[in-house]
Structure 1
Amino acid sequence: MKKLLLTGFEAFLEFPINPTTEIANQLNGELIGDYEIIGEVLSVDFHKSGNQLLELIEKHQPNAVVSLGLAAGRNCITPERIAINCNDGPVDNNGHKPNGEKIFVDGPDGYFSKLPIYQMVAKLEEAGYPAKISNTAGAYLCNNVMYHGLHYLKQKGLEQPSGFIHIPASHNLAVKKNMPSWSQQDLTEAVKVAISCIQ
């Protein structure tokens, strides 16, 4: 049985919960397609999150890596096309505030996702879940983690599927914020549909 590392993030900024935490925990140990899911939750910390992902890759030796992040305000599932070599955005959970520094000084400007993002969008829409490809993962921790994973695999000469998927807010998050939201169950089921596209 092949292994797929699925990561979410802890709560951050003004969001008291993070729906990706529940997805990673709920799907941990499940079988989806050809993969056994290994669910893990990352810190929201520019000094730690990327290295946590790499340590998990080293530990579990997965055949595929999918990281999840909350994109509050988006109304659909958005597989990310590209990660850029840049840290920027608001403070993280430990008070770090980057200002456009490179993630890796000697790294390339960007990496394209190694996930089947077109197939994911098509299958999600077929299943009734709104989805589209996103051309920016931002420059916060979601982009940071995506870049770390793709850079690591490139340096190791590995070709397995790896990338990032942003999800909308859950209903619990959106109650007071007047933003698009999905039920937690629908978010989890949509992630399962996306994962089922990975060979």
Structure 2
Amino acid sequence: MKLLLSGFEPFGGMKVNPTEQLMQDMAAASITGVDIRTVLLPVYFDECAEILLQAVEKFQPDVIISCGLAAGRTSITPERIAINVKDIAPDASYPDNRGTRPQDEPIDPDGPDGLFSGLPVRDMVSRLQAAGIPAAVSNTAGTYICNNTMYAVLNYIRRHQLPVLAGFVHVPASSDMAADKPSLPSLPYDMLLRGLKLIIESTRTAWETRAACQL
């Protein structure tokens, strides 16, 4: 199975984004039956997805798992759906890393309103919980960069009718982030890394099952 993983640089004035470290560690990781490639994305509307899709065209993966930070969440949350909108409320604390603040803009004016993840989100959550890692299915990826990336990738797969499993996983802040902000919910980084590996194993099982059914 060829797996493309993506994470993001820090944003919103934060010095750390745990998904950046996850990409560094997963680039050197070894998982049986999985050929892993990683890409670090900028926190820029639209360009985030353009860079990821360039990697998709080059690597031709079977699976795409995008990861992002959801500071304030208390668990690892695979996303169920992406929606066709870019929006930052006027009173939001931060724009993207270029200062862009879209409002009520479609990601694709001709695209569907929403697109569901192709990842086995329920099985992912079950595996994480069985391993003692806080996890839950999320029904909103927001309207920021993470949703922009998730929707654009799923829309690309839809338009090109590709046999690719893809979706998005949000992780909470890591404990080192909470050192500067003790009220911020967090999980130890080692738990986030272990959780991502379980997510990959869940997806590998789903991909192998689908591949077997197509024989």
Q: TM-score, normalised by structure 1?
A: 0.96
Letter in 2 for 1:19: P
- Paired residues of 2:125 and 2:137 also in contact (CA < 8 A): yes
Deviation at 1:100, TM superposition (A): 1.4
Structure whose CA Rg is larger: 2
What does residue range 89-108 of structure 1 map to in structure 2 within 5 Å?
A: 89=88, 90-108=94-112
Structure 2 residue 132 is the aligned partner of structure 1 residue 128: yes
Task: State the distance in 2 between where 1:190 and 1:17 align.
Answer: 19
CA contact (8 A) 1:171 1:182 kept: yes
Q: Provide Cα deviations, 1:158-190, integer angstroms capped at 9, x if missing partner.
A: 132100000010111112321111111111111
Task: Report the number of matched residues.
Answer: 198
Q: Out of 191, 196, 202, which is 1:197 matched to?
A: 202
Correspondences of 1:1-199 after superposition (within 5 Å): 2-89=1-88, 90-177=94-181, 178-198=183-203, 199=207
Q: Verify the 8 A CA contact 2:43 2:145 in the aligned structure 1.
A: yes
Contact 2:39 2:52 in 1 (8 A): no
Given that 2:62 and 2:165 are in contact with CA atoms closer than 8 Å, whether structure 1 keeps it comes out as yes
Q: Deviations over 1:8-39 (max 9, x none)?
A: 00000021110000001110143324312111
Letter in structure 1 aligned against 2:161: G
- Deviation (angstroms), 1:53: 1.1
Of 29-38 and 123-132, the range deviating more from structure 2: 29-38
**TM-score, with structure 2 as normaliser:** 0.89
For structure 2, the residue ranges without an aligned partner over 5 or more in a row are 89-93, 208-215
Deviations 1:38-63 (A, max 9, x none): 11100000141011111110011111
Identity fraction in percent: 44
The CA RMSD over aligned residues, in Å, is 1.1
Amino acid at match of 1:39: T
**Where in structure 1 are there 5+ consecutive unaligned residues?**
none
